[in-house]
């Protein structure tokens, strides 16, 4: 029997199949001792700095969510603790489509990219990794107000309509994140990928709902500040997990702006530090801005513009009529009259639903080639069909067995023999089924059924339009293929030996094996790995703790030499040594 990809719990059990397809095993044993050292360095540095500048929920949340500073979190352990606050975490395959990412949030599930950044990208990586997700997102959700904002954001965000260009940009960013974290990718290839993203970003046209809500997500969940403009604290996961940017963002070089709905139209560049950040006075204000934005979305406005957004997206979407009837499919045509849709058409598999539940007999097996229907009022009649009682329907000859011609506003005519009507829970008619049906617009035939029956949707107006199907079980949405986010090359003998050295120092620190000679490890490191700085910092820590002053001074001399030949490492080395010295000083006081 196959081993399950992940250990489930009551929250994960509720996930629909199309979300479960993105989950992959964490494979904890794949983390090397170097990976663990990278995690420990970032977390120790962050904890030291962020305890002063992050929102108080961060430090409290680290404890509540069981995230250790010394080792990469195990998803199983995290889930045991997260369920206490009504959440769960799953490992996913790097970047996943924005709508899926948000839908996970709607189910109170935190998605965590289980890969970890390379030592070379220790300060920042555009690729989602476990430092960003586990150390950035997880701690803050221990705050109930923020957790509810995140859940509601997911609920609204997964209904946002994308444009075809959004998907192209998503693929380009995903590609960049993969090659940037892959070992040995030529610089020119990374530069080409970055240039491609820049070109796409500057030619996006009118931003889609998904682009706008993604901006809100970026300026709050990823890069948000909280408090006053003059004295903000950090809560955004991108800042909490970036040892470079968390310090940079607190300087006067980064402009601080009060957070409001204008953040939705403020674009960002994932490859560069942010020139400005938004400050919310409190977490409740985030939810207010989110609701204000939701009021601008087609999900709440419907109408002709909502249908047009779905056509432009070229993706599976749903419109809801005033009767509550929902039509899900790929919309490709709308006929309008006086700025209102009077006929809508889908192509390919389409399903009809009511209250997110597929209508029996109206799944994609019935509507394989698409679905078209008139909507709106009948010409010259003030009473909409949906508001007609049995007597009204009879007066207008709308009942079983009648051959009838219905003339709608906007020159849409439908003629045929009525077979039956389908009603909703309130008894309102939502579908009328005909045989020998002909639908015309002016002189043009837009639909004709000879053998098959035809169902006309009843609805005076389109009250909602949103991304995805009404009933997720109507369509086969399991199409994602798991691929490795990072391109992993086989490790060389030299690399494996370096990992062994890291493991030895880790074992010594954890009292697993205290017989290891730290001086010998340092000598081998200096001879065979002259450019590796992090393990030298770890050995320095052990030397200081055991009062091996001579070894500590030899390490300092080696690292100072390295700083001269590789100035970019200077700050990282200094910060690592400073942390050790500070800890030692704290212990002696």
CB atoms within 10 A of CB 277: 23
- What confidence tens digit (pLDDT) does each residue in 172-225 have? 887 887 787 677 788 898 889 889 988 887 787 788 999 999 999 999 999 999
- What confidence tens digit (pLDDT) does each residue in 514-551 have? 888 999 999 999 999 999 999 999 999 999 999 999 99
* pLDDT for position 2: 45
Residue 147: which of 79, 61, 73 has the closest Cα?
Answer: 61
Which range has the top average pLDDT, 73-82, 233-242, 275-284?
Answer: 275-284
Residue 164: which pLDDT band, with cuts at 50, 70 and 90? Answer: confident
CA–CA gap between residue 433 and residue 420 (Å, rounded): 5
- Residue 456: is its pLDDT beyond 50? yes
CA–CA gap between residue 308 and residue 337 (Å, rounded): 14
CA–CA gap between residue 211 and residue 214 (Å, rounded): 5
Residue 5: which pLDDT band, with cuts at 50, 70 and 90? Answer: low
Residue 221: which of 113, 291, 125, 137 has the closest Cα?
Answer: 137
Chain-centre distance for alpha carbon 78: 20
* pLDDT for position 553: 95
- What confidence tens digit (pLDDT) does each residue in 118-149 have? 888 887 766 778 888 777 888 888 899 999 99
Q: Average pLDDT of 340-347? A: 97
Structure tokens at 186: 């030529």
* pLDDT for position 488: 67
Between 224 and 50, the more confident residue is: 224
Which three-class secondary structure state does DSSP give residue 435?
strand
Question: Looking at 41-50, 150-159, 291-300, 464-473, which range is the least confident one?
Answer: 41-50
Structure tokens at 93: 């395959």
Structure tokens at 73: 């979190």
* pLDDT for position 484: 46
**Mean pLDDT over the full length of the chain:** 90
* pLDDT for position 6: 64
* pLDDT for position 107: 95
- What confidence tens digit (pLDDT) does each residue in 401-450 have? 999 999 999 999 999 999 998 888 877 889 999 999 999 999 899 999 87
* pLDDT for position 3: 47
Between 183 and 154, the more confident residue is: 154
* pLDDT for position 271: 67
* pLDDT for position 60: 86
* pLDDT for position 589: 59
* pLDDT for position 46: 83
Q: Average pLDDT of 497-510? A: 95
Tell me the domain boundaries of the chain.
Answer: 10-291, 328-467, 493-588
Residue 578: which of 541, 530, 532, 533 has the closest Cα?
Answer: 541
Helices 209-217 and 144-157: angle between axes, nearest 10 degrees:
160
Region of 268 on the Ramachandran plot (φ > 0 left; ψ -120 to 50 alpha; else beta): beta
DSSP 337: E
CA–CA gap between residue 70 and residue 511 (Å, rounded): 14
- What confidence tens digit (pLDDT) does each residue in 463-488 have? 999 999 999 999 998 876 554 455 56
Instruction: Please enumerate, as own/partner, the contacts of 504-511 that have beta carbons within 8 Å and a separation of 24 or more.
Output: 505/33, 505/535, 505/538, 505/539, 505/542, 506/33, 506/36, 506/37, 506/538, 508/542, 509/538, 509/541, 509/542
Question: Looking at 15-29, 470-484, 487-501, which range is the least confident one?
Answer: 470-484
Q: Average pLDDT of 556-571? A: 92
Residue 4: which pLDDT band, with cuts at 50, 70 and 90? Answer: low
Residue 3: which of 19, 22, 26, 36 has the closest Cα?
Answer: 26
Name every residue whose Cβ is closer than 8 Å to that of residue 399 and which is 6 or more positions away in sequence. 393, 418, 421
Q: Does domain 10-291 have CATH number 1.10.800.10?
A: yes
């Amino acid at each position: 029997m196959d081993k399950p990809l992940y250990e489930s719990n009551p929250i994960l059990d509720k996930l629909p199949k199309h979300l479960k397809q993105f989950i992959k095993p964490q494979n904890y044993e794949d983390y090397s001792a170097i990976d663990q050292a990278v995690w420990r360095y970032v977390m120790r540095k962050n904890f030291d700095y962020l305890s002063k500048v992050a929102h108080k929920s961060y430090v409290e949340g680290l404890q509540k969510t069981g995230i250790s500073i010394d080792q990469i979190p195990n998803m199983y352990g995290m889930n045991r603790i997260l369920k206490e606050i009504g959440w769960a975490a799953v490992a996913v395959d790097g970047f996943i489509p924005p709508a899926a990412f948000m839908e996970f949030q709607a189910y109170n599930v935190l998605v965590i990219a289980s890969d970890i950044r390379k030592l070379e990208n220790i300060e920042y990586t555009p690729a989602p990794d476990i430092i960003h997700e586990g150390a950035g997102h997880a701690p803050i959700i221990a705050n109930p107000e923020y957790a509810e904002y995140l859940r509601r954001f997911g609920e609204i965000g997964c209904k946002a309509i994308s444009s075809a260009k959004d998907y192209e940009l998503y693929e380009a960013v995903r590609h960049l994140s993969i090659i940037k974290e892959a070992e040995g990718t030529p610089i020119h290839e990374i530069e080409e990928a970055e240039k491609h993203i820049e070109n796409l970003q500057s030619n996006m046209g009118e931003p889609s709902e998904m682009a706008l809500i993604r901006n809100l997500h970026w300026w709050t969940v990823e890069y948000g500040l909280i408090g006053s403009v003059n004295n903000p604290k950090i809560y955004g996961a991108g800042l909490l997990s970036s040892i470079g940017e968390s310090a940079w963002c607190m300087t006067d070089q980064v402009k601080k702006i009060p957070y409001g709905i204008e953040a939705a139209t403020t674009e960002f560049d994932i490859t560069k530090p942010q020139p400005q950040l938004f400050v919310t006075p409190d977490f409740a204000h985030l939810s207010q801005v989110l609701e204000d934005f939701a009021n601008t979305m087609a999900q709440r406005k419907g109408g002709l513009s909502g249908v047009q957004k779905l056509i432009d997206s070229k993706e599976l979407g749903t419109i809801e009529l005033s009767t509550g009837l929902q039509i899900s499919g790929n919309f490709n045509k709308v006929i309008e009259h006086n700025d209102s849709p009077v006929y809508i058409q889908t192509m390919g598999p389409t399903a009809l639903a009511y209250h997110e539940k597929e209508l029996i007999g109206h799944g994609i097996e019935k509507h394989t080639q698409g679905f078209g229907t008139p909507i709106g009022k009948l010409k010259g009649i003030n009473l909409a069909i949906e508001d007609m009682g049995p007597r009204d329907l009879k007066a207008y000859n709308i009942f079983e067995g009648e051959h009838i011609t219905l003339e709608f506003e906007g020159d849409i005519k439908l003629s045929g023999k009525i077979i039956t009507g389908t009603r909703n829970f309130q008894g309102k008619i939502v579908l009328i089924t005909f045989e020998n049906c002909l639908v015309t617009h002016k002189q043009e035939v837009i639909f004709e059924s000879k053998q098959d029956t035809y169902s006309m949707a009843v609805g005076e107006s389109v009250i909602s339009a949103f991304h995805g199907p009404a009933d997720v079980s109507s369509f086969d949405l399991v199409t994602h293929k798991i691929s490795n986010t990072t391109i992993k090359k086989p490790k060389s003998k030299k690399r494996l030996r370096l990992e062994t050295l890291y493991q030895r120092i880790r074992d010594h620190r954890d009292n697993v094996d205290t017989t290891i000679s730290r001086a010998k490890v340092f000598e081998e490191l200096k001879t065979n790995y002259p450019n590796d700085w992090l393990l030298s910092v770890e050995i320095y820590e052990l030397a200081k703790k055991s009062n091996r002053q001579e070894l500590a001074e030899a390490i300092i001399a080696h690292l100072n030499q390295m700083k001269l030949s590789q100035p970019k490492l200077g700050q990282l080395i200094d910060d690592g040594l400073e942390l050790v010295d500070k800890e030692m000083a704290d212990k002696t006081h």
